[in-house]
């Protein structure tokens, strides 16, 4: 009985992690001076940086990582300055 419950909980956790990883990085905030990108545990900081570079390039600038933060197991945020 306990093994079955543990297995089911593990399966649910795995499915939740898989679905959050499939969304890919996304720009949460963007201005001429800064960009914030949300990315999952399966996405790397490199993918977030590429997205920030595109957002800053729209203003003729390049992205420079200021700070990154982890929230939980799968949600991460990277804050970039457009310079």
Per DSSP, 1 falls in state -
pTM over 0.75: no
Torsion of CA 27, 30, 35, 36, to 10 degrees: -50
What lies within 8 Å, CB to CB, of 1 at 6+ separation is: none
pLDDT in tens, 12-44: 555 555 554 457 899 999 999 999 999 988 888
Please name the residues in contact with 45: beta carbons below 8 A apart, sequence gap of 6 or more.
39, 65, 68, 78
DSSP summary character for residue 42: T
Whose tokens are 């900081």? That residue is 45
């Amino acid at each position: 009985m306990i093994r079955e419950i543990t297995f089911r909980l593990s399966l649910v956790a795995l499915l939740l992690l898989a679905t959050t990883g499939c969304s890919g990085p996304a720009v949460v905030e963007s201005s001429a001076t800064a960009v914030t990108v949300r990315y999952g545990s399966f996405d790397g900081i490199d993918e977030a940086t590429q997205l920030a570079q595109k957002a800053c390039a729209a203003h003729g600038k390049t992205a420079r990582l200021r700070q990154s933060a982890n929230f939980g197991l799968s949600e991460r945020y990277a804050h970039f300055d457009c310079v």
